[in-house]
Amino acid sequence: MSNIYESAEATLGFISSPCLTKVELRVACRGISDRDALSKPDPCVVLKMQSHGQWFEVDRTEVIRSSSSPVFSKIFLVDYYFEEVQRLRFELHDISSGNNGLRDADFLGAMECTLGQVSVTDTHQKLANCMFLVTAEELSGNDDYVELSFSARKLDDKDFFSKSDPFLEIFRVNDDGTESLVHRTETVMNNLSPVWKSFKVSLNTLCSGDHDRELKIQWECINPKYQMKKKNYRNSGTVILNHCKIIKMYSFLDYIMGGCQIQFTVAIDFTASNGDPRNSCSLHYIHPYQPNEYLKALVAVGEICQDYDSDKMFPAFGFGALIPPDFKVSHDFAVNFDEDNPECAGIQGVVEAYQNCLPKIQLYGPTNIAPIIQKVASSASEEMHTKEAMEYFILLILTDGVITDMADTREAIVHASHLPMSVIIVGVGNADFTDMQILDGDDGILRSPKGEPVLRDIVQFVPFKDFKHVSAEVYRILALGARGLLFGLLVGGLGLPGHMYSQKIQ
């Protein structure tokens, strides 16, 4: 094993699977003061978390109209790192009528605590104008969810001038006998026999993964007052469960244990913007003892992915260089210069091929990554249409900055989103990575130049200067990859490997 490779491993030796659990936070308020004498407030709670001294919005609840003691159905899902102090801020706002935004909202107050505090015990805090209640529950690790659909018939009419506007609430009964709101449907206006939209809720949220936990859904709607007054009273309507389907969600390890194989491919940016490799300022500079940024990034991601690649043979490609023998620019050349067999033996083999390649090429440009995405997508497409369809493709792209074929790249990603494939882009150096953030799709749905949206999010970008977060991002893309594999299997009309199945309840 080369000294450079060992040095890169040592530099990044702390990288391991993130030690965390997920926590659900439920929020309610009591006794919100009425600022408007003519109406009750329309409350909404915004959750913020602190990072580097700044507060950033994580999520927000729905707006509950005309309520001074709201119980929000929105559940906040946060990652809990027990070794970190994670500061939370719950802001209460009164939203203007006809507007769900915060611009014209009245700020009513805020509660601050740590995630550790709220995880240990339910947190109640008295604000100037209300009582704030936050409850937390650690998830069981069961990612399955249930799809439900309800309707009702012949509900009582509670309005004088029109029919009632019904909605349905589902509560679960906790171990201590209390009840927690799980889901609130939309309101169906002016209808005594409503059909509510189907919805999905995780089994963690619904019953903490316990299939025997009691739920509170009243099938015959009984009004106790009417029951006492009317001799022939039967009910105030009937609620009907039209559809219930439990959908099994598989983890990354489920797929690995079921026979899935990861095909890991590396693509390295050899454009001139990286600097002359002979210059110590170059991102491609080969120091005799210290790994450059490309090698660090390659080892950081590759060491994680190679454990799930059975043959440990990794195709490695370069783009943006003039290559021998005719020194024409190429955007998908084999780093070992063997176009018929671009595979290298393990991450060490990729490192050695990279080091041998640098003196033989001329860094050039432009920075086009669509060709390499299309090359891997072609292999993924062939695999998806084979009888076994048991491989998932992960493409690692190491690049130093702005790409020049954005339109073609967007088109290639949209096409690849239909295949068992994911892309990890690691930004090396300190360049402007705005384009990469766009490809990541975290700020909105990525679309092709023709307007076609991606079928699923397959791109994850992380700047390597934040390399302490690289392992978390890699594990995240592997988890997304498992779901992408399921998609590929289903599109191919094939069964799931091994013990995998889905369960349906009539």
φ, ψ of residue 61 to 5 degrees: the values are: -80, 175
What digits encode the pLDDT tens for the residues 327-356?
Answer: 999 999 999 999 999 999 998 999 999 999
Q: What string of DSSP letters covers 158-189?
A: --SSS------EEEEE-TTS-EEEEEEPPP-T
Residue range 42-56, pLDDT digits in tens: 999 999 998 878 898
> For residue 37, what pLDDT is reported?
67
Instruction: Give the pair of three-digit tokens for residue 473.
Output: 């991002």
pLDDT at residue 490 is higher than 90: no
Which residues have C-beta within 8 Å of that of residue 315, sequence separation ≥ 6? 265, 266, 334, 342, 343, 344
pLDDT averaged over the chain? 79
Beta-carbon count within 10 A of 376 CB:
24
Residue 109: both structure tokens together: 């107050």
* pLDDT at residue 340, rounded to an integer: 94
| Pair of tokens at residue 121 | 């015990």
What are the helix (H) ranges across 385-420? 406-416
Inform me whether the pLDDT recorded for 8 exceeds 70: no
Least confident range from 385-399, 420-434, 446-460, 475-489: namely 475-489
The answer to whether 299 and 5 have CB atoms below 8 angstroms apart is: yes
The residue to which tokens 């390295």 are assigned: 268
Question: What mean pLDDT comes out for the span 441-449?
Answer: 75
The helix/strand/coil state of 267 is strand
pLDDT score at 378: 94
Write down the pLDDT at residue 285. Answer: 92
* 122-133 confidence digits (pLDDT tens): 677 777 678 889
The reported pLDDT for the residue numbered 444 is 64
In this predicted model, what pLDDT tens digit does every residue of 66-100 receive, in sequence order?
Answer: 899 999 989 898 887 765 778 899 999 998 776 76
Q: Which residue reads 């432009």 in tokens? A: 366
DSSP character string of 345-389: EHHHHHHHHHHHHGGGSEEB-----HHHHHHHHHHHHHHHTSSS-
Please report the pLDDT score of residue 272 as a whole number.
94
How many Cα atoms sit within 13 Å of 339 on the Cβ side? 7
Q: Which residues pair with 109 in a beta bridge?
A: 92
164-165-169 Cα angle (round to 5): 120
| pLDDT bracket for residue 466 (50, 70, 90) | low
Torsion angles phi and psi, residue 389, rounded to 5:
50, 55
Query: Partners of 314 in the beta sheet?
Result: 344
Dist. CA 427–CA 188, nearest whole Å: 48
Residue 464 binned pLDDT confidence (cut-offs 50, 70, 90): confident
Q: Is the pLDDT of residue 140 over 70?
A: no
Residue 443: predicted pLDDT: 55
> How would you classify the pairing of strands 328-330 and 321-323?
antiparallel
- The count of other CB atoms within 10 Å of the CB of residue 473 is 18
- Report how far residue 342's alpha carbon sits from residue 233's, in angstroms, rounded to the nearest whole number: 79
User: Does the structure show a pLDDT above 70 at 16?
Assistant: no
Q: Give the global pTM.
A: 0.57
Q: What percentage of the chain exceeds 70 in pLDDT?
A: 78
> CA angle, 73 as apex, 72 and 78 as ends, to 5°?
95
